[in-house]
Structure 1
Amino acid sequence: MRLRSTLSIGVTLSLLLPAAPCAAGSGSAGFSSSIAPAVEASDDGDEQMEDLIDEFDERMAKFMEAYRAEEDEAKRQELFTGLYPRPADFAPRFRALANEFKGTQAGAKALVWIATNVYGDTQEATVDELLRDYPDSPLLEEVVPLLANRSDEGSRASLRSLLSESPHRNVRGHACRALALNLRGLSADTEDTDQSKSLMAESRALLMRVQEEFDDVPYYGGTLGAAARGELFESDRLQIGMIAPDIAGADLQGVDFKLSDYRGKVVVIDFWGNW
């Protein structure tokens, strides 16, 4: 998908910038099908989208090249002021395309770009707009993961609807995993013990379903199945009160050791690394 080039730059840049907060908000439980069937190709709209994405990507690539080449930290920070292409500055132009080509593939792509590059209230509202106006679009796989961290019932209802009704397997797969993570978070915040256990059980069942039905669906550099296996391992083996999985390695002096060698002893364990 053409939008992925922008997202890959965003992932790289996230290693350089502080994490931006994502606001929790209301989902769009009641999907409207009024314009969804009209998602068709628009040559002019697609061409304008490609040009605008290329413009942003080229400016971002120039910034990244300059940032990596500059060793002085103060000058690196100056690059953010003069050279860094802020997604929020591009968002109005993508919004204009979304409005002009509403109901087309180009219109949906413009909204997806905004939702995956701009944070806060703008992201929240744009995701809700996509869910409302393009419930059958395959492009929703790009934004469905954003619902995993929302705390409202509307978002969970949206995920359940997508899981059962989307005609696209990739969208259903991402909805399944996002709902599992959402319920796991809800379980952690629920004081009622029985309800918390019930939510965790449903979350686990959904992650198992991801492995069974959507194992090979692409997710960043891997697959949804691989992500689900990691999340199941965390749920099953890495919770408070559980015995930590054993590890083996060599210490700074080259002496082999295992974590289990220290079970029952009072020790300080310091894990660190350099990248």
Structure 2
Amino acid sequence: MPMRMLMAMILTALLTTAAAAQAPPSDPVADELAALLAAEAASELGRVETYQAFRPRFEAFVKAHRGTESEVRATLWLVQNTWWLRPDGTMESTSMPLAEDLIRRHPTSPQIGLLTEYRYVFTKDQQESMFERLLKVSPHPEVKAAAHFGLAQMSPPRSADGTPNPHLATLLAEFADVRWRQTTFGRIADARLNPHAAADLAVGKTAPEIEGVDQDGKPMKLSDYRGKVVLVDFWGDW
């Protein structure tokens, strides 16, 4: 064997060993959950049928991996998808015990803030109780901010005398820089407390500024397209 080839093989072996040593250890539980989520996402069944088919699998995963962050994520899937129980009237009675158990056993998990985004599967009383609980037990500003925002949405931005909603005021004072998706809770609270005047939102008026990112993830402003023919698509997902 030529010496050059031998040295190349030795160097390759050393680099491979070093790379393996530096690579983060694989988490088999997280890998198992990722595979389960991928299988659910790839299901060709209808949404209700997919929930019915995968609910037992997620429940089995939760039971087998209690105490892990992967269990938290799997339980959040179960909470979110109780939506499909709405027609038979068992949505709220199923979602709340799951959420209560999750908060009780995983109070410091950064993931439990997602419960505020799934508020549509809870009654208003359940939401209020759950959000107040999150404020008390979570050490994470992201979770606390999400809980304040959830509570803020349960009442008007301002009282009859113009006093700011206390939860929106708290977001501005204490959590203004905490990020939520592509914005911050401070910007959300400010928009709620200081909406555009109705007279400014009329045909013929200059559209208010909108800032965000384009399909390539680059910053953009609506005013960048002034004078151009564009299609503006406002959409949501419920």
Shorter chain as normaliser: what TM range?
Answer: 0.5 to 0.7
User: Which of 107, 110, 114 lines up with 1:135 in the alignment?
Assistant: 107
1:163 aligns with 2:139: no
What residue identity is the alignment partner of 1:215? Answer: A
Q: CA–CA distance in 2 between the matches of 1:92 and 1:55?
A: 14
2:123 is equivalent to residue 150 of structure 1: yes
Equivalent of 1:109 in 66, 73, 82: 73
Structure 1: any 5+ residue segments left out of the alignment? 1-40, 64-78, 188-195, 238-242, 251-255, 258-272
Distance 1:174 1:93 in 2: 29
Larger Rg: 2
Give me the whole-angstrom Cα distance separating, in 1, the residues matched to 2:135 and 2:77.
Answer: 23
Q: In the alignment, which residue of structure 2 is the partner of 1:232?
A: 193
1:213 maps to 2:197: no
TM-score normalised to structure 2 length: 0.59
In 2, Cα distance between the equivalents of 1:88 and 1:210? Answer: 39
Pair 216,114 (structure 1): closer, same or farther in 2 beyond 3 Å: farther
Per-residue deviation at 1:147? 4.2
Q: CA separation in 2, counterparts of 1:109 and 1:128?
A: 15
Q: Is 1:173–2:137 an aligned residue pair?
A: no
**Matching of residue 100 in structure 1 with residue 100 in structure 2:** no
CA distance in 2: counterparts of 1:173 and 1:131, whole angstroms: 16
Normalising by the residue count of structure 1, what TM-score does the alignment of the two structures yield?
Answer: 0.52
The residue identity in structure 2 corresponding to 1:150 is: T
Equivalents in 1 of 2:129, 2:95: separation in Å? 19
Contact kept, 8 Å, 1:166 with 1:172, in 2: the verdict is yes
Q: 1:50 aligns with which of 25, 34, 38?
A: 34
Counterpart among 118, 138, 141 of residue 82 in structure 2? 118
> In structure 1, how many angstroms separate the alpha carbons of the residues matched to 2:166 and 2:190?
12
Distance 1:55 1:218 in 2: 30
* Structure-1 separation of matches of 2:130 and 2:46: 37
State whether residues 100 and 130 of structure 2, in contact with CA within 8 Å, keep that contact through their aligned partners in structure 1: no
User: Alpha-carbon deviation of 1:246?
Assistant: 2.5
1:144-195 per-residue CA deviation (whole Å, 9 max, x = no partner) reads 233486322x64343223224411111011011111222449x9xxxxxxxx
On the 8 A contact 2:110/2:140 being kept in 1, the answer is yes
The CA distance in 2 between the partners of 1:98 and 1:48, in whole Å, is 12
Percent sequence identity is: 24
Task: Return the offset for 1:197.
Answer: 5.9
Aligned-pair RMSD on alpha carbons?
Answer: 3.7
Cα gap change, 1:223 to 1:115, in 2 (>3 Å): farther
Instruction: Indicate how the Cα distance of structure 1 residues 168 and 219 shifts in structure 2: closer, same or farther if over 3 A, else same.
Output: same
Name the CA distance, whole Å, in 1 between partners of 2:52 and 2:183.
29
1-structure distance, mates of 2:160, 2:139: 32
User: What is residue 15 of structure 1 aligned with on the other side?
Assistant: none
SS at match of 2:154: helix
> Which of 1 and 2 has higher RCO (CA within 8 Å, sep 6+)?
1
How many angstroms apart in 1 are the aligned matches of 2:98 and 2:169?
30
Kindly tell me the number of residue pairs found equivalent between the two proteins. 176
